[in-house]
Amino acid sequence: MTLTLSNLSKTYPGRHGGSVQAVRNLNLTMEKGEIVALLGSSGCGKTSTLRMIAGFESVSEGGITLAGRRIETLTPDRRRVAMAFEGYALYPPLTIEENIGFGLATRGLDRAEAARRVREMAEMLEIGPILKGRPAGLSGGQQQRASLARALARDADLHLLDEPMGQLEPQLRSVLRGRVKAALKSRGLTAVLVTHDQTEANAMADRIAVMEAGVLQQYGPPSELRDRPANLLVATFLGEPPMNALAATVDPAGLHLDDVAEDVLALPGVPMPRAGAKIVLGVRPHRLQLGAGALRGQVISNQWLGDQAHVVLALGPRILVAVAHRRVAVRVGETIPFGFAPDHAHLFDADSGRALAHGMVAA
Amino acid sequence: MPRISAILRGIALAAVLLFFLFPIFWIFLMSFQTNETILQIPPSLAFEPTLINYTSLISGHLQTAAGSLDLPFMHNLFNSVLLSAVSVAVSLVLGVPAAYAFARFRFRLGEDIAFTLLSFRFAPPLLVLLPLSLYFKDLGLANTYAGIIWVYQLICLPLILWIVRGYFEDASPDVEYAYRIDGHSWWRAFTRIAIPLAGPGIAAAGLLAFIFAWNNFVFALILASADKQPVTVGALAFVTASGIQYGQIAAAIVLSILPTLALALYAQRWLVEGLSLGAVKG
Amino acid sequence: MSGLQIHGLRVAFGRNELLKGIDLSVAPGETLVLFGPSGCGKTVLLRAIAGVEPAARANVQIGGRDVSALGPEARGLGMAFQNFALYPHMTARENIASPLQARGVAAAEIEARVAEVAALLRITHVLGHAPKELSNGQKQRTALARALVGKPPVLLLDDPLRNVDAKLRYEMRMELPRLLRAAGAATIYVSQDYREAMGLGDRVAILLDGRIAQMAPPEAIYDAPASVKVARLFGDPPINLLACRPTAGKAGVEVAAAGWQFSLPVDRSAAGRNCLLGLRPEAVALFATQQSGAAPAQIIATTPLHERLVVLLRAAGGEEVVASVLGSVPQAGSTVWLAADAAQALLFDAESGSRIPAAPATLEHAA
């Protein structure tokens, strides 16, 4: 276990007396060499968590253990963590090269080795041509890559990456994700990635911790979050396009979709809650099959995006999206049959959002 | 640990409050004492409160050992209110549109004009007073309310212009653009969108300008004779032949800070209200 | 001519000319997506059309009427801003009513039309709220409602989905085609997301270096980008670009790159010139065993992207190749065989960046 967060909490004094709990009883462990993403929308507590690990924020309750040492009371410089800041935090008077090499020089790495590292990082992040420049003259994306290079060049027990690619052009982002992941893996580095972008979390992380309102919602590998989401929030937060969610009522013979005048939808093999229960049925867009099935929907749009098709369907007042990895020959306005295999159904409690059953788990 | 730090913080706060509030508290006490009890050594907190200072200020008659003296204090107070209020009103009418223009439009010499207006604040007032008083005599403006209000623009206008300009610059022009695209004229966009959004800034600038105008001494001393004098100049009258009337001075100070205090308390809720109120993505 | 026409639109800030002469026209009911990298002037172009960009010089016609000399209030258009630009001191209802109020519409009719558009955008329950009480998604819907309520002949939408989270973005993306169809306006939609551009645009205009680099239906841009720059911008993960020097072949040119050999039916003038071979990542397939025409490569990293896997590979010659595949992929470090679909390969001139057109012979066949 490299990093252990135990019962970690952060409480800020509120504006009108009282207090705001940004992080509540967070328990999380990471293995050495693992990449973990803290994923959530803004204000979910992920940045507070990161700042507590780095030592920029005091811990209200709980403890942090890193590589066998309790670190929550240490000053940031003694925690042996490296960090790439969302706001870059480059040293303005130094060149980019000096910025990247800064952490290395102060840690007594020999000169040739330090220079080699800087070159390697610059090449990986495509900032070779700006090494001699100073931060002020650079774009946000360039500064962000320099900040990332500085963090990655260092040896540390833990690398903290705070929204490390938020300012990059999308074209560069998808390639750099692969390269940074490969670099972390080849050096056996342990990294915490804080991001609001589920694509980035999915692309880079071995495990993802989804946070919302200061509470850890689910922690597991991307495949587990995708196939067995713990609740509706995780289910709809991950996946692009997001999971289709339909309000439904459990019937002895299956499900009755609310507001949709269709027959009861039978889901053989899926463990059903008691009849009459209000639930939400979730189906991932690429699990919807067009052209055959028990449901009928009107095509609202059919968009070919170069490598996939998005077909939007109206099912009564509900709107669903289906994804296919080939062109689909349906026209706007047409009513077509569609459906899904019971294996791909997810059932959630309508009130709490808690997952009740997953088709694939039952299968 | 947290208890000790809380106690220390309390002590520090109390010390600061004592340092700043004690003189005001003392003045307040003085205003209810006669000159004799004030000058008594050692000073005592136990005294018989008297309203004599206030009654003599309000009635305008001061009884001293040397005889009776007429004090135009209430008239001075009226002058102060009139001069400050009208000066600020004129400055707002002139300054807010100007501030908007400087914030929204780039025009030739724009920065230079704005800076020149600010530079009026740099010059010591005495530098301009002598020539001004001569001009004013020729123009017939000397010792008129209009003349003093005009000169007070030197105090109020740069202040309002620069503070309000900052508020206009901070507000996204997109909100005004959106309003115009909706079909409203630029004048309506200015009055219905720009001004309300800069409201807290305008209130803050107006309040500050009012206080500066209220506290002004030199301009009024030179340009105004007795019947146009504000309290700051009028207070000189308490230095009488028979000594300094501390009790009346204290009462006069209490009376003269009341309007600014009331205004500050009233404007506070405007001052604390957020600038853009979450119109634009935070 | 109805709809929107723009001729010779120029915007210069001092000596820096941001837009160097833009011509475009949008028909009623059509959605033109304006796409380009950040800072390319997309927003400025919209503002120029709206009449709120003082530095713009342009001839703008709306519904056949020259509005170039008119202020924004007289142009008769609706606009949604990227930062929403709601009026903070008014309720959502008053925000939406603003365009109708400006025209002096009767109170009862304002009430009815605001209710109608609010129902369409599903914000009826928050009409009485001030903007600061709205969630980002509700703000964005209120801003859209305000743009739509006056039924303007021209709609300008400045990346309205940029500042909302993925879930809301998709919900809106699903609803927008229907909303825009119902509005029937000539719509310009600014986007930085090529999928959004492909999904919403009847046509897409690529804005690059102050000019429109290509304007065509989205698929045409994806399948036949005019230049390397357009090809790189339009697609995620981005297109693979491999340096090559084609030789003349039977029906076009022969290309060798990253261990592959292709015959491409393109203009033979490319032979002997420095070129770039463009291959979309989804046109590259991975095989565990040797295949004819496949080239060996080593897997550097695999990063999932939606339902696909983006595989970063190093070819035998050291070139980096990105493949986007469905299904599973061997672990990093493994050697695999890469096959490329020659039918999807593009060839660009390395110097000018422009795409080498199809060989004339092909055209004769077609004729």
Banded model confidence at residue B66, pLDDT cuts 50, 70, 90 = low
pLDDT tens sequence across A276-292 = 999 999 999 999 999 99
Q: Are the CB atoms for C9 and C48 separated by under 8 Å?
A: yes
Indicate whether A12 pLDDT > 50.
Answer: yes
Q: Measured between alpha carbons, how far is residue A282 from residues A228, A254, A274, A287, A358 in Å?
A: 11, 14, 18, 10, 9
Banded model confidence at residue B154, pLDDT cuts 50, 70, 90 = confident
Q: Are residues C286 and C338 in the same domain?
A: yes
Give one DSSP letter per residue of B26-80, joined into a string. Answer: HHHHHTTS-HHHHH-SS--S------HHHHHHHHTEEEETTEEEE--HHHHHHHH
- Asked if A307's CB is within 8 angstroms of C280's CB, the reply is yes
Q: What dihedral angle (degrees, nearest 10) is formed by the CA atoms of C134, C140, C193, C171?
A: 80
Shortest alpha-carbon distance between residue C82 and chain B (Å): 9
**Using CB atoms, which residue from C301, C304, C324 is nearest to A202?**
C304
What is the domain-level CATH number for residue C308?
2.40.50.140
Chain C residues whose beta carbon lies within 8 Å of the beta carbon of residue A171: 232-233, 235-238
Chain C residues whose beta carbon lies within 8 Å of the beta carbon of residue B178: 79, 81, 85-87, 146
**Residue C125: φ, ψ to 5°:** -70, -10
What proportion of chain C, given as a percentage, has pLDDT over 90?
A: 70
Residue type, A137: G
What pLDDT score does A363 carry? 36
**Using CB atoms, which residue from C47, C77, C85 is nearest to B279?**
C85
Q: Which helix (H) or strand (E) holds C319?
A: none
What tokens appear for A349 in the block? 């409690």
Q: Are the CB atoms for C339 and C291 separated by under 8 Å?
A: yes
Which of A204, A233, A307 would you mutate first to test chain C, the one with the most C CBs within 10 A? A307
Banded model confidence at residue C361, pLDDT cuts 50, 70, 90 = low
Strand duo A35-39 + A81-84: pairing: unpaired
Among A154-158, B183-187, B249-253, C213-217, the least confident range: B249-253
Q: Is residue C250 part of a domain?
A: yes
Which of C38, C161, C170, C202 would you mutate first to test chain A, the one with the most A CBs within 10 A? C170
pLDDT tens sequence across B185-195 = 999 999 999 99
Banded model confidence at residue B281, pLDDT cuts 50, 70, 90 = very low
What pLDDT score does B258 carry? 83
The angle at the Cα of A327, spanning C189 to C354, to the nearest 5 degrees, equals: 60
Chain A residues whose beta carbon lies within 8 Å of the beta carbon of residue C171: 319
Q: Is residue C48 part of a domain?
A: yes
Strand duo B239-240 + B243-244: pairing: antiparallel
- Asked if C72's CB is within 8 angstroms of B174's CB, the reply is no
Distance CA A45, CA A213 (A): 7
**Residue B199: φ, ψ to 5°:** -45, -55
Mean pLDDT of the residues in chain A: 91
Shortest alpha-carbon distance between residue B84 and chain C (Å): 30
The three-class DSSP label of residue C7 is strand
What pLDDT score does C351 carry? 94
Q: Are residues C75 and C198 in the same domain?
A: yes
Distance CA A124, CA A227 (A): 33
Query: Which residue(s) pair with C313 in the sheet?
Result: C299, C321
Residues 6+ apart with CB under 8 A from A72: A52, A59, A62, A63, A64
The verdict on C262 touching B (C-beta cutoff 8 Å) is: no
Indicate whether C168 pLDDT > 50.
Answer: yes
Strand duo C295-305 + A61-66: pairing: unpaired
Indicate whether C363 pLDDT > 80.
Answer: no
What pLDDT score does B5 carry? 84
- Asked if A177's CB is within 8 angstroms of C303's CB, the reply is yes
Shortest alpha-carbon distance between residue C202 and chain A (Å): 10
The verdict on C104 touching B (C-beta cutoff 8 Å) is: no
Which of C84, C117, C135 would you mutate first to test chain B, the one with the most B CBs within 10 A? C84
**Using CB atoms, which residue from C200, C280, C301 is nearest to A182?**
C301
The verdict on C166 touching A (C-beta cutoff 8 Å) is: yes
pLDDT tens sequence across A19-72 = 889 999 999 999 999 999 999 988 889 999 999 999 999 999 999 999 999 999
What tokens appear for B83 in the block? 């001069």
- Asked if B181's CB is within 8 angstroms of C102's CB, the reply is no
- Asked if A300's CB is within 8 angstroms of C178's CB, the reply is yes
Distance CA A293, CA A298 (A): 14
The superfamily in CATH containing domain A3-235 is P-loop containing nucleotide triphosphate hydrolases (3.40.50.300)
Q: Which helix (H) or strand (E) holds B218?
A: helix B218-223
Q: Are residues C199 and C274 in the same domain?
A: no
Q: Which of C123, C125, C120 shows the shortest CA–CA distance to C151?
A: C120
* Interface residues of chain A, partner chain C, Cβ below 8 Å: 41, 169-171, 174-175, 177-179, 181-182, 185, 196, 198-199, 202-204, 222, 236-237, 239-242, 286, 300-301, 303-308, 310, 312, 319, 321, 323, 325
The domain segmentation of chain A, as residue ranges, is 3-235, 237-362
Distance CA C205, CA C218 (A): 9
Final residue of a structural domain among C176, C200, C224? C224
Residues 6+ apart with CB under 8 A from B148: B83, B219, B220, B223, B224, B228
pLDDT tens sequence across A163-173 = 999 888 877 88
Q: Are the CB atoms for A317 and C178 separated by under 8 Å?
A: no
Which residue of chain B comes nearest to C96, CA vs CA? B182
Which residue of chain A comes nearest to C219, CA vs CA? A306
CB atoms within 10 A of CB C270: 24
Banded model confidence at residue A137, pLDDT cuts 50, 70, 90 = confident
Among A291-295, A353-357, B228-232, the least confident range: B228-232
Residues 6+ apart with CB under 8 A from A56: A76
Q: Are the CB atoms for C141 and C99 separated by under 8 Å?
A: no
Rounded to a whole number, what is the distance in angstroms from the first to the last CA of chain A?
33
Q: Supply the angle between the helices B73-104 and B199-215 in degrees, to the nearest 10.
A: 140
What pLDDT score does A318 carry? 86
Q: Are the CB atoms for C305 and C262 separated by under 8 Å?
A: no
**Using CB atoms, which residue from C37, C167, C311 is nearest to A169?**
C37
Shortest alpha-carbon distance between residue C175 and chain B (Å): 22
What pLDDT score does C359 carry? 77
The verdict on C99 touching B (C-beta cutoff 8 Å) is: yes
- Asked if C50's CB is within 8 angstroms of B177's CB, the reply is yes
What proportion of chain A, given as a percentage, has pLDDT over 90?
A: 70
Q: Which of B159, B270, B268, B146 shows the shortest CA–CA distance to B213?
A: B159
pLDDT tens sequence across B217-274 = 888 887 777 778 888 887 777 766 667 778 888 888 888 888 888 887 877 766 655 4
Chains that touch C (3 or more CB pairs under 8 A): A, B
DSSP B237: G
Residue type, B43: P
Which residue of chain C comes nearest to A182, CA vs CA? C301
Residues 6+ apart with CB under 8 A from A291: A330, A336, A337, A338
Q: Are residues C276 and C169 in the same domain?
A: no
Among A34-48, A133-147, B43-57, C249-263, the least confident range: B43-57
Distance CA A107, CA A112 (A): 14
Q: Is B55 exposed, middle or buried (0-12, 13-18, 19+ CB in 10 A)?
A: exposed
Q: Is B140 exposed, middle or buried (0-12, 13-18, 19+ CB in 10 A)?
A: exposed
Q: Is A335 exposed, middle or buried (0-12, 13-18, 19+ CB in 10 A)?
A: exposed
Average pLDDT, integer, range C241-256 = 91
- Asked if B277's CB is within 8 angstroms of C71's CB, the reply is no
Give one DSSP letter per residue of B136-195, joined into a string. Answer: HHHHT-TTSHHHHHHHHHHHHHHHHHHHHHHHHHHS-HHHHHHHHHTT--HHHHIIIIIH
The verdict on C25 touching B (C-beta cutoff 8 Å) is: no
Radius of gyration of chain A (CA): 24
Most confident of A14-28, A52-66, A102-116, A246-260: A52-66
- Between C224 and B204, the higher pLDDT residue: C224
SS3 of chain A: helix, strand, coil, percent, to 5: 30, 35, 35
**Per-residue H/E/C for A165-183:** CCCCCHHHHHHHHHHHHHH
Q: Which of B156, B149, B174 shows the shortest CA–CA distance to B96?
A: B156
Indicate whether C100 pLDDT > 90.
Answer: yes
The verdict on C119 touching B (C-beta cutoff 8 Å) is: no
Chain C 274-313, CB below 8 Å of chain B: which residues? none
Q: Are the CB atoms for C157 and C147 separated by under 8 Å?
A: yes
The verdict on B108 touching C (C-beta cutoff 8 Å) is: no
Distance CA A117, CA A131 (A): 13
Please tell me the number of Cα atoms within 13 Å of B220 on its side-chain side.
27
Q: What dihedral angle (degrees, nearest 10) is formed by the CA atoms of A158, C313, C237, A207?
A: -30
What pLDDT score does B271 carry? 63
Which residue of chain C comes nearest to A287, CA vs CA? C307
Average pLDDT, integer, range A6-27 = 87
What pLDDT score does B269 carry? 67
Banded model confidence at residue C113, pLDDT cuts 50, 70, 90 = very high
Query: Which residue(s) pair with C32 in the sheet?
Result: C188, C203
Chains that touch B (3 or more CB pairs under 8 A): C
Q: Are residues C131 and C249 in the same domain?
A: no
Helices (H), chain C: 42-50, 92-102, 107-120, 136-149, 166-183, 194-200, 218-223, 228-233, 360-366
Asked whether the ipTM of the predicted complex exceeds the cut of 0.90, the reply is no
**Residue B277: φ, ψ to 5°:** 55, 30
Q: Residue C303: which domain range?
A: 236-366
Indicate whether C173 pLDDT > 70.
Answer: yes
Q: Which of C152, C141, C150 shows the shortest CA–CA distance to C113?
A: C150
The verdict on C136 touching A (C-beta cutoff 8 Å) is: no
Average pLDDT, integer, range A4-33 = 89
Q: Is residue C101 part of a domain?
A: yes
Distance CA C110, CA C117 (A): 11
Q: Is residue C229 part of a domain?
A: no
What pLDDT score does B59 carry? 80
What pLDDT score does A207 carry? 97
**Using CB atoms, which residue from B179, B180, B281 is nearest to C87?**
B179
Distance CA C52, CA C45 (A): 10
Give one DSSP letter per residue of C173-209, joined into a string. Answer: HHHHHHHHHHH--EEEEEES-HHHHHHH-SEEEEEET
What pLDDT score does B279 carry? 37
Q: Are residues C206 and C255 in the same domain?
A: no
Q: Are residues C192 and C276 in the same domain?
A: no
In chain C, the number of structural domains is: 2
The verdict on B182 touching C (C-beta cutoff 8 Å) is: yes
Shortest alpha-carbon distance between residue B282 and chain C (Å): 9
